[in-house]
Structure 1
C-alpha cells in the first residue's frame, strides 16, 4: 500500500493488521474477514481415485436423504459404509458427526469432527463445516472461548453461519468499545 504523498513508501501493515485497525476505528463494522476462504496448507492427503470417490458420494447422498427423512440410524449406517470403504474420506466424518449430534451423541460427534479436521486438510468445504459444527457443540457445552475460536476458523474457511457468529460476537464489541475509549483518552 502506498502512503499518500510519497509514491515510493511502502507500508509494513499487513492485510490482517488493516482489518484489526478497521475493527478498532469502526467497531460497529464487525470483524473484516478475508474475501477468499483459506484453502488449507500444502500437506493434503493422497487423492481418492475417481471411481471410489463417485461411489463414496453416491453412498453419502443416500445417507443425507435418510437423515432428511429422520432416519439417523440408517444415515449413520450409510456413512459407516463410506468410512469402511475409505477411512480418509473427511466428508463422511463430517456428515456422520452431524447425525450423531442430532441424536444427542455429542462425544461421538466430536470424535468424528476431529477426524474430519485431520483428513480434511486442504479442503475448505469440509473444514468450514467441521469447525462450525464443533463451535456449535462447544457453545452448547459452555466453552465460549473454544466456540469463538472454532467459529473464527469456520468463518475463515467461508461458512456463513460462522461469519455471522464472529461478526455478532458481544465480547468483540465490548473489546472494541474499550479500545475506542482508550484511544480517545490517549488522543485527549
Structure 2
C-alpha cells in the first residue's frame, strides 16, 4: 500500500519542479478501495510492508540502490502483491530504467486485477511515462482506467490530453489576459 511519501516520490519523479510532498489531487483518492490484503499471511505482509517503507525512506534520502534492494526483497517474499512492484517501478524510473519500470507497472496492474490503490497508482505512473514518450493514446487509456478507480490526478491529466479542452483553456487565458490588461490588448 502506498503512503503519502510514496505519492510525494512519484510527484517528484515526474514533476521535479514542484516542491517535494506537494502532490495535488492524489490526496483526494483516500476513499479508494484497498488491495485485498487478507489473502496474505499477516506476519509476512507486515514484513513486506516494512521492507517497502524502508525502500521509500531510502529513495527519499537519495539511496535508490538501497531502495531497489528493499523493494526487490519485498517482491521475493510476496511476489503476488502489487504494491512492491509499483514502488520498485518508481525507483527504477529514478535510475533511468524506463523499460524495467514499465515491466514492473505491468506486473502490478496484472496482479491487482484492475482494482485497488496500487493498480491505480501504477496506471497513473505508466500513463505519465507514456506521456513522456509521446504515446498519448496509451497515456489516455491508463488515465481513463485510473480515473475510474478514483484518481483525481488522472482526471486532470485526461483534461490536459483533450485537444479541445487545451484550445478552450488557451482562448480563455487570452481573454482573461485582455480583460486584466486592456492597454496591452489595444496595442496588438
TM-score (norm 2): 0.66
User: Matches of 1:123 and 1:53 in 2, distance apart?
Assistant: 19
Other structure's SS at 1:168 match: helix
Other structure's SS at 2:113 match: coil
Deviation readout 1:125-171 (Å, 9 max, x if unpaired): 01110000000111111101001111111111122321211133333
Mapped contact 1:45–1:121 kept (Cα < 8 A)? no
The equivalent residue for 1:50 is 42
User: Matches of 2:164 and 2:53 in 1, distance apart?
Assistant: 38
- Deviation, structure 1 residue 47: 1.0
For residue 66 of structure 2, the aligned residue among 71, 74, 90 is: 74
User: Matches of 2:104 and 2:136 in 1, distance apart?
Assistant: 21
Unaligned runs of 5+ in 1: 1-34, 177-188
For residue 118 of structure 2, the aligned residue among 123, 126, 150 is: 126
Aligned-residue CA RMSD (Å): 2.7
Q: Which has the larger radius of gyration?
A: 1
The equivalent residue for 1:86 is 78
Mapped contact 1:63–1:78 kept (Cα < 8 A)? yes
| Change over 3 Å in CA distance of 1:167–1:150 after alignment to 2 | same
User: Matches of 2:39 and 2:164 in 1, distance apart?
Assistant: 39
- Deviation, structure 1 residue 102: 1.4
User: Matches of 1:174 and 1:85 in 2, distance apart?
Assistant: 46
Mapped contact 1:38–1:156 kept (Cα < 8 A)? no
Would you tell me which structure has more helix in proportion to its own residues?
Answer: 2
Number of aligned positions between the proteins: 139
| Change over 3 Å in CA distance of 1:172–1:91 after alignment to 2 | farther
Mapped contact 1:79–1:93 kept (Cα < 8 A)? yes
- Deviation, structure 1 residue 175: 10
User: Matches of 2:138 and 2:153 in 1, distance apart?
Assistant: 16
Unaligned runs of 5+ in 2: 1-28, 169-188
